[in-house]
Amino acid sequence: MLAVSAFNGALMDSTFNVFFKLKYTKLYDQILATPLTTGDVARGEIAWGQLRGSTYAAAFLLVMLAMGLIESWWALLALPAVLLIGFAFSAVCMAATTWMRNFQDFDKITLVQLPMFLFSATFFPVETYSGPVRWVIECTPLYRGVVLCRELTLGTVSSASLVSVVYLLLMGVLGMLVVRRRLDRLLLT
């Protein structure tokens, strides 16, 4: 649930809020009248989504601590891990938002969000799934975040932790590059 809270916070801020600023208030057009660039806009919005997601997760981590659910000092690295999860999802969700035309397109976000939430091994171990279903689940970004947070809070850090970090980092960087190009196309032409 730690990873899911970072995921949900970043997703909500980087879709609904960005869409409203992009389509209705035209805030980014106003920002670009200053010396700031579309890259600055992208980094600022991604950082805000990242902070919102990590704030939710930090509160959840405090609840885990109060309930005695943290079993290792590795859990201190869960805070940077949820920042990474927030970064990855904020960047990709903001990139997806640049293609949205109206509010009905948010159904597509929910169409991806809900199955990812339910089948990311948050509630059931991934071993309960078989064959190709398990492989698909292991390729989802939320699963990588769940694995990372679970390993850190339980103190069972393994090579899968490094795989998760690299996966989420690449996802975030790719999302940021796409956002920058899309904002250039939408706002500068």
Q: What is the pLDDT of residue 1?
A: 86
Q: pLDDT tens digits for 102-128? A: 999 999 999 999 999 998 888 888 888
Q: DSSP class of residue 13?
A: I
Q: What string of DSSP letters covers 174-189?
A: HHHHHHHHHHHHHH--
- Under a CB-based contact definition with an 8 Å cutoff, are residues 7 and 112 in contact? no
Burial class (CB in 10 A: 0-12, 13-18, 19+), 67: exposed
Q: Look at residue 146 and tell me whether its pLDDT is greater than 90.
A: yes
User: What mean pLDDT, rounded, does the chain reach?
Assistant: 92
Pair of tokens at residue 127: 């071993």
List CB contacts of 87: < 8 A, sequence separation 6 or more: 10, 46, 50, 168, 169, 172
Percent of the chain with pLDDT over 90: 75
**Res 189 pLDDT > 80:** no
Domain residue extents for the chain: 2-187
Q: What is the pLDDT of residue 122?
A: 87
Return all residues near 9 (Cβ < 8 A) that are at least 6 apart: 49, 52, 53, 54, 55, 56, 57, 86
What pLDDT score was predicted for residue 89?
96
Closest CA to 1 of 71, 63, 74: 63
Tens digits of residue pLDDT in 62-107: 998 899 988 888 988 999 999 999 999 999 999 999 999 999 999 9
Assign 160 a pLDDT band (cuts: 50, 70, 90): confident
Specify the pTM: 0.92
